[in-house]
Amino acid sequence: MKNDVYILGIESSCDETSVSIVKNGEEDIATVVLSQMDTHANYGGVVPEIASRMHVENITMVIEECLNKANMTMDDITAIAVTYGPGLIGSLLVGVTAAKTLAYVYNKPLVPVHHIAGHIYANNLTKKMTFPLIALVVSGGHTELIYMKDNYSFEKIGGTLDDAVGEAYDKVARIVKVPYPGGPLVDKMSYQGEDNYDLPLPLDDDSYNFSFSGLKSAVINLVHNEEQRGHTINKEDLACSFQKRVVDILTKKTMRALEHYNVKNMIIAGGVAANSGIRTKFTELCASNGVDLTIPEFKYCTDNATMIAAAGFFAYEKGKRAGLDLKAKANTKLE
């Protein structure tokens, strides 16, 4: 009988300070997420320097609260996993430094986790992942299609050439003057409208790449032209047309990838996995194509350390380790 592995995960890549303890990569023992969203909302977006400052202020409290919640001590922890990138460098630095300090004092293995691997393994907290699979990663910073032959093996088959899908949502939200963070509100508004605006389907080619800047520009131009003509924009209709194009292209390319790679398992990962338009359409399509679809619970879609600890378990099992000289990286490839 193998011993249970308890990974303490630390995530600080953007504006959430989070610490979590996960058992065997699948059971959330305790998670604390301290979101700075209310602070950054005053500025209409995440201010990196403020985010870094808040991470330092809160890091020890979040670690302590997580252990208290789990009713565990550091002695019960097998290894420490931390997001080393990609993300805001100043924010990442706090989590990485904290993780290294813990690993040093308690003499625990330090496991470096790529933020996207974390988002992918959020799914393992919902349902044990089955391979091979195709992962669609959609967030404020990422839009990627990843083929996974096995645990902790990542082959990127496509990605965005410009804006990430979440970024496009937030920009459209700003154009139609929806407060930050506007993405989720645009999703909500789209259900109150109809697809009455003529927007292009973005980068509809044979690749698995995405491009959302053209769609974003089309929205800007449309709003501008309508205003020039003295027409008022129906925001709900615009949200609906925009969301429909996004969902159409994401599903079109993902379903083709599933067919091409002859894969029957699919997962969605990242903050935009909370988008109900995306969830609904993929649920429908996967059901009718015999594809087993997993989407993380809402609480694991946004940034959290639970997913880092879950991914950390599989990285740990694969023998991935970092030294006390681990560096935070703003940009880094998933491997």
Q: By the criterion CB under 8 A, which residues form the site for another protein?
A: 42-43, 47, 49-50, 52-53, 56-57, 59-61, 63-64, 74, 90, 93-94, 96-98, 100-102, 104-106, 323-328
Neighbours of 206 (CB within 10 A): 7
Distance CA 166, CA 13 (A): 16
C-beta of 86: minimal distance to another protein in Å? 16
Residue closer to another protein (CB basis): 230 or 323: 323
Are 145 and 278 in contact, with CB atoms under 8 Å apart?
Answer: no
Residue closer to another protein (CB basis): 74 or 201: 74
Residue closer to another protein (CB basis): 43 or 298: 43
C-beta of 119: minimal distance to another protein in Å? 24
Are 213 and 205 in contact, with CB atoms under 8 Å apart?
Answer: no
Are 130 and 305 in contact, with CB atoms under 8 Å apart?
Answer: no
Residue closer to another protein (CB basis): 93 or 164: 93
Helix residue ranges per DSSP H, the chain: 37-41, 48-70, 89-106, 115-121, 165-175, 183-190, 213-228, 235-260, 276-288, 298-301, 305-317
Rg of the chain (C-alpha set): 20
C-beta of 68: minimal distance to another protein in Å? 12
Residue 214 CA to chain centroid, in angstroms? Answer: 23
C-beta of 102: minimal distance to another protein in Å? 6
C-beta of 46: minimal distance to another protein in Å? 10
Residue closer to another protein (CB basis): 14 or 168: 14
Residue closer to another protein (CB basis): 96 or 173: 96
Task: Tokens 């800047």: give the residue.
Answer: 213
C-beta of 69: minimal distance to another protein in Å? 16
Are 239 and 189 in contact, with CB atoms under 8 Å apart?
Answer: yes
Residue 57: CA atoms inside 13 Å, Cβ hemisphere, count? 11
Are 311 and 320 in contact, with CB atoms under 8 Å apart?
Answer: no
DSSP 8-state code for residue 274: G
C-beta of 220: minimal distance to another protein in Å? 25
